[in-house]
Amino acid sequence: MRAIISAAALGVCICLGAGCENPLELDRGTEIEIGREGAAKLEAEYGVVDDPAMQQRLDAAGKRVAAASQEPDLPWTFKILKSDEINAVCLPGGFIYATEGMMRFAKNDDQLAGVMAHEVVHADHHHAKSAIEKAMTQSLLVELITRKSSKSLKQAAAIALDLDMRQGYREKEYEADHYGTLYAFRAGYRADGLRQLLALMHQDKGDPARITWLLQSHPPLSKRTQRLDEYIPTLTGRPVSPP
């Protein structure tokens, strides 16, 4: 026996009792709202770089790979965070950020498109959504039923930020590498752009502190490039060669 309560104001459907595979399910609009809320928080924390040329470079790569994704109609936005760390962040709904450090580190547009495409996959494969749903089920169920408040949205945004900034998507990283490589290739970039960037990060001995976060939260870079070495030839028909 199961009961379904619809908390329409918040755009979630709550299923109670046994037999509920996914007790709390976010609809598309709410997923986007959560991303927007998290994006505002992130921008307030880091600040956004105001550099038209750098922004144009990011937009060109980001929008092109997003158009080649399975959800070209998401409200895709690409912005640059004021941080020297070499990183990129994705929030639900298509709010994607590259750090200033990443913009400088990506040596060519194939590499930049590759890393943007990786982030695009986190959004269009809804990687944060199920984790948010799981976390919210426990902490917010009572509140959702009794009081449909915007506090719930804020809490969900905090979960989404924590997932991406601190934990990473862990087991979803290989999937993001795989489809990201496909999207970049479909968009007309070299298939090995992301692979090039990961290899450069692996070699980077300049300032390891700048990529500590990524190394902690993502699978080892060598494993990721190894998997791409197997996948890329299936797209291009030839083995991966040095850039």
CB-based contacts of 181, cutoff 8 Å, min separation 6: 114, 117, 191, 192, 193, 194, 195, 228, 231, 232, 235
Q: Quick one: CA torsion of 126, 129, 134, 136, rounded to 10 degrees?
A: 180
CB of 168 to Zn ion, least distance (A): 6
CB of 116 to Zn ion, least distance (A): 11
3-class SS at 71? coil
* Alpha carbons 53 and 45: distance in angstroms, whole number: 23
Q: What is the footprint of Zn ion within residues 148-167 (CB under 5 A)?
A: none
Among residues 87 and 137, whose Cβ is nearest to Zn ion?
87
| Contact (Cβ atoms closer than 8 angstroms) between residue 221 and residue 197 | no
CB of 122 to Zn ion, least distance (A): 6
Among residues 122 and 153, whose Cβ is nearest to Zn ion?
122
| Residue 96 in contact with Zn ion, rule: CB under 5 A | no
Stretch binding Zn ion (CB under 5 A), from 72-80, 93-101, 104-112, 168-176: 168-176
* Alpha carbons 99 and 101: distance in angstroms, whole number: 5
| Residue 136 in contact with Zn ion, rule: CB under 5 A | no
CB-based contacts of 140, cutoff 8 Å, min separation 6: 24, 152, 155, 156
CB of 158 to Zn ion, least distance (A): 19
Among residues 24 and 198, whose Cβ is nearest to Zn ion?
198
* Alpha carbons 86 and 150: distance in angstroms, whole number: 33
Among residues 157 and 163, whose Cβ is nearest to Zn ion?
163
Structure token digits, residue 192: 């090995």
| Residue 26 in contact with Zn ion, rule: CB under 5 A | no
Stretch binding Zn ion (CB under 5 A), from 28-36, 55-63, 72-80, 169-177: 169-177
Among 12, 176, 194, 201, binds Zn ion (CB under 5 A): 176
Structure token digits, residue 230: 């197997």
CB of 121 to Zn ion, least distance (A): 8
Binding site for Zn ion (CB under 5 A): 173, 176
